[in-house]
Amino acid sequence: MIDHFGINCTDYASSQEFYDAILAVLGYTRQMDVGPATGYGTEGKPTFWIADAAAGDASGANREVHIAFSAADRAQVQEFYDTALRLGAESLHAPRLWPEYHPGYFGAFVRDPDGNNVEAVCHQA
């Protein structure tokens, strides 16, 4: 069900140090560093992300959370996106390939009614 999720951190450097240490104890390491975001996991797959809250528009009392749901295929990603828009969600990114993440990463992003960044993603070559 959950492909990956992310939180925003007000002290990004301290959070990196904190998560580097505590997740190492559990066998997880940094898998990706993408600008102001760091992804942790194993075997090249980041499943937990931290991001610098100061780097985006996540300031304020309700900083957005990012959660990505696994989709079986690209058609499900499209249906997720279409359904969300029909329900009044704001489009953040229409369904497309995201080769900067990895080849075959196909995802769509919307903002839910509470302002969170919600994604559907499939990993097909």
* CATH classification at residue 108: 3.10.180.10
On whether both 88 and 47 belong to a single domain, the answer is no
Q: Identify whether residues 74 and 59 lie together within a single domain.
A: no
Q: Are residues 38 and 24 in the same domain?
A: yes
Q: What is the pTM of this model?
A: 0.79
Angle at 52 between CA 66 and CA 80, to 5 degrees: 15
Question: 48: which strand partners?
Answer: 5, 40
The number of folded domains in the chain is: 2
Q: Domain end: 22, 42, 63, which one? A: 63
Provide the residue range defining the domain that includes 96. 64-125
Residue 113 is which amino acid?
Answer: P
Same domain, 103 and 90: yes
Per-residue pLDDT of the chain (125 residues; tens, 9 = 90+): 999 999 999 899 999 999 999 999 899 999 999 989 999 999 999 999 999 988 865 444 456 889 999 999 999 999 999 999 999 999 999 999 999 999 999 999 999 877 889 999 999 87
